Amino acid sequence: MSFRAKRELLVQVAPRYCAARHGQRSAILDEFVAVTGYERKYAIRLLLGPIYPPEPIRRPRAAYYGSEVQAALTTAWTAANGICGKRLVPFLPELVPTLERHGHLELTDGVREQLLMLSPATADRLLAPLRQPHGLATTKPGRLLKKQIPVRTFTEWTDGKPGFLEADLVAHCGGSADGAFLYTLTLTDVATTWTECLPLLHRTQHGVVHALQRARSLFPFPLLGIDTDNGSEFINEELLAYCANEQLTFTRGRLMVGPPTPRPANLDTRVGRAAAPHARRRPCPGSRCRWTVVAWVPELAAPGDAHGDR
């Protein structure tokens, strides 16, 4: 009988033992000793003493991976642009020798062996203190047309034919969602990971359709379908009608929150934020212009404008 099971039995038996009479106590004590194997005097002290709910036994153990492994993993993770452990670990055997050859890492044989035997879960756990908290969510779910747009699950991303796009709208708001800021519509082909980023001044359904029309001339292959999240800028009649007229397959993801996965959507967000980390529009004091684009986006700037003033 496990220790936890004995403690659970104690929680059940002790109230009956304290409330019973002398003759009944002997019978309860005999039964408790027979089941647990405790000495009789020790069992009496347990039954009459304070009762604590059973807690998990925690036995601290020394960390297997030391600070040297964590520092080397941090260097490789930074060089790989902060990708998740599932995508980072398979490339460590190729990435680590390259970093050593160029002088970014100096590892002993033991540290190198431990670094190359990391699992994705262990790598994510070692990198957890270094990861920045997730940014603000600006997606407003659209609820009107969900029954008309089918859900596409992760297991269905097995198409080897180019043309099926994963779409995501990245908000360049920094640490605050107040005020006006720019957006990037990032489109990633599932088969080839070809990615195109298109800037949007406003998060509107018309802007998304217009950007999708522009994207069709940027990809080197015809578009066959688009998969989006459940934001109102995607789940609307205008985009649904456009996909129907252009014979594009239109699907959406599930309403769920989970850990980072190596899906094209993660590539969408990372590429979009790298293009313009903080593209907030602010008042331009002492000038006739109304706004200043903090991160210059060539598609939004006027000809000859090097700063993106509007």
The answer to whether residue 293 sits within a structural domain is no
Does 39 share its domain with 71? Answer: no
**Residues of the domain holding 76:** 67-130
Q: Average model confidence (pLDDT) for the chain?
A: 77
The answer to whether residue 300 sits within a structural domain is no
Q: What is the sign, positive or negative, of the torsion defined by CA atoms of 144, 149, 153, 154?
A: negative
pLDDT band at residue 270 using 50, 70 and 90 as cut-offs: low
In this prediction, residues 139-161 reach a mean pLDDT of: 55
Does 86 share its domain with 191? Answer: no
Two tokens, residue 232: 């109102």
Out of 98, 130, 162, pick the residue that ends a domain.
130
Whether this model's pTM surpasses 0.85 = no
Does 187 share its domain with 257? Answer: yes
Which tens digit of pLDDT belongs to each residue from 166-183?
888 888 877 677 777 888
Does 78 share its domain with 27? Answer: no
In this prediction, residues 161-169 reach a mean pLDDT of: 88
SS3 197: strand
- 281 pLDDT above the threshold of 60: no
| Number of domains forming the structure of the chain | 3
Alpha helices in 20-89 (DSSP H): 22-36, 40-48, 67-79, 85-88
Does 161 share its domain with 259? Answer: yes
Of the chain, the percentage scoring pLDDT greater than 90 comes to 28
The answer to whether residue 141 sits within a structural domain is no
The answer to whether residue 193 sits within a structural domain is yes
Beta bridge partners of 184: 170, 199
Does 44 share its domain with 71? Answer: no
Q: What is the sign, positive or negative, of the torsion defined by CA atoms of 39, 41, 44, 45?
A: negative
Integer-rounded Cα Rg, in Å, for the chain is: 30
Does 27 share its domain with 73? Answer: no
- What is the rounded CA–CA span in Å between residue 148 and residue 291? 39
- What is the rounded CA–CA span in Å between residue 3 and residue 189? 55
CB 138 within 8 A of CB 235: no
Beta bridge partners of 280: 181
- 305 pLDDT above the threshold of 80: no
